[in-house]
Amino acid sequence: MSSASDPLAPLAGLPGVAESVDSVRKAVDRVYGHRVMRRRSGEITSEAALRGARGSAALSGADWALEEVRRRTDFGSEPEALTVGAALRLTAEAGQLLSIWRQSPLRVLARLHLVACGSTADGDVVGRPRLAGEPVTEPLVGLPLPSAEEVAGRLDGLSRLIIAGGSAPALITAAVVHGELLALRPFASYNGLVARAAERIVLINSGLDPKAICPAEVGHAEQGSDAYLAAFEGYVSGTPEGMSAWIGHCGRAIELGVRESTAVCEALQRGAA
């Protein structure tokens, strides 16, 4: 990751990464070419958002059935309900922040945390990176927390990377943004949900998935929390093998999201949805 012009570009040369990028691109192209997409893409987008939110919430400890997520309107004060409500709000909000992302990613991340928290959290810790000594609630990731000083420096680096753009494929950029936010856990809560929402924003904003119909969150959940954490530990290791494994995992997640939306297309085509 030493290229001055694009620090992410060397990741494309890691073993297996080029194959993952190509496989994801072909999968996305197939679902975008489905005949249902020509006239009912809005329905596919809405369904992908719902399923993506359900998948992200599941990884954060609220593994609800899809129909339960669909029918509920009250997300109350119970921890699982709060998590599902946060995931739904984040998925809805992500599409509203695309124009801001490339100019001010830190502003977008702050907004995502604010949206995730809703009206339930202490306003002193909402929408800003944590300070030294402040605790973090993250139900899935138990790795040691980077210091607040390290968080600030790495968030600044991530922001500059996004603003500069580059030639790295969308899969690589999305995987790095997701992995870095999960590693840093910059907020007091909902870091996993925010990291996956940021991944969604990158995939949409890059042009890989402009209609938001390829919910990677579905694929992350379908592969299971154990596989998710194992791949994430590869990212944290920083080794070529670990980075390759994490990017490959994120690629498979997108492909599984594509499979989910393809099934929705097929159901709509049959008149079953």
The pLDDT value recorded for residue 273 is 46
- Mean pLDDT in residue range 210-239: 97
| Rounded Cα–Cα distance for residues 141 and 145 (Å) | 10
The pLDDT value recorded for residue 2 is 39
Closest CA to 119 of 146, 86, 97: 86
The pLDDT value recorded for residue 125 is 86
What percentage of the chain exceeds 70 in pLDDT? Answer: 96
The structure's pTM equals 0.94
| Rounded Cα–Cα distance for residues 109 and 156 (Å) | 12
The pLDDT value recorded for residue 5 is 65
pLDDT tens, 142-167?
Answer: 899 999 999 999 999 999 999 999 89
| Rounded Cα–Cα distance for residues 58 and 152 (Å) | 29
CB 201 within 8 A of CB 108: yes
| Rounded Cα–Cα distance for residues 56 and 46 (Å) | 16
| Choice among 72-86, 101-115, 146-160 with the minimum mean pLDDT | 72-86
Please enumerate in sequence order all residues whose Cβ is within 8 A of that of 44, keeping only pairs 6 or more positions apart, or say none.
36, 37, 211, 213, 261, 264, 265, 268
Confidence of residue 199 (pLDDT cuts 50, 70, 90): very high
pLDDT tens, 109-138?
Answer: 999 999 999 876 566 889 999 999 999 998
Closest CA to 196 of 95, 51, 57: 57
pLDDT tens, 9-37?
Answer: 999 999 999 999 999 999 999 999 999 99
Confidence of residue 1 (pLDDT cuts 50, 70, 90): very low
The pLDDT value recorded for residue 122 is 60
In order of 15, 251, 260, the CA distances from 248 in angstroms are 10, 5, 18
| Rounded Cα–Cα distance for residues 251 and 218 (Å) | 12
Q: How many residues does the chain have?
A: 273
